[in-house]
Homo-oligomer: A and B are copies of this chain.
Amino acid sequence: MINERYENRWEKIMEVDGEGGKRVIESLKNIAPDLGRYVIEFAFGDIYTRQGISLQQKQLVTIASLTTQGGCEPQLNVHINAALNVGLTPNAIVEAIIHCIPYTGFPRVLNAVFVAKQVFEERNLKVNTK
């Protein structure tokens, strides 16, 4: 029963989070494999597959949540990559992070923007800053 949920979602995680997500799951193998399973089954299986908001909207929500939470730079890296994978532009990603300033202040926003900067450089993407 578990396995069915698992397999359906594994494709999803690969489609959205790509290598970054896969690497997280694998690094959990020797210490907390069930945690990796919950990421796949619950976060991807139950939550990401929901209807009602689009994949792009989901990634904007995710980025806003992680930016505001603070201290989640590794997860922001995975999800900024995921946001690009579902078609959000670098500009839209930066705009979403900037939009959090009034709610969470500059420090968390600066931390998130610097993660985005690194991701864009790794993928050779440019933000249109004019």
Interface residues of A (CB under 8 A from B): 1, 4-5, 24, 27-35, 38-39, 41-43, 46-47, 50-53, 57-58, 60-72, 74-75, 91-92, 94-111, 113-114, 116-117, 120, 126-127, 129
CB closest residue in chain B, given A41:
B46
Q: Are B68 and A71 touching (Cβ within 8 A)?
A: no
Copies in the complex: 6
Chain B contacts of A4 at CB under 8 A?
Answer: 1
Contacts of A65 in B (CB 8 A): 64-65, 67-68, 99-100, 103-104
Taking CB as reference atom, which chain B residue is nearest A104? B105
Partner of A61, one of B28, B99, B107, B120: B99
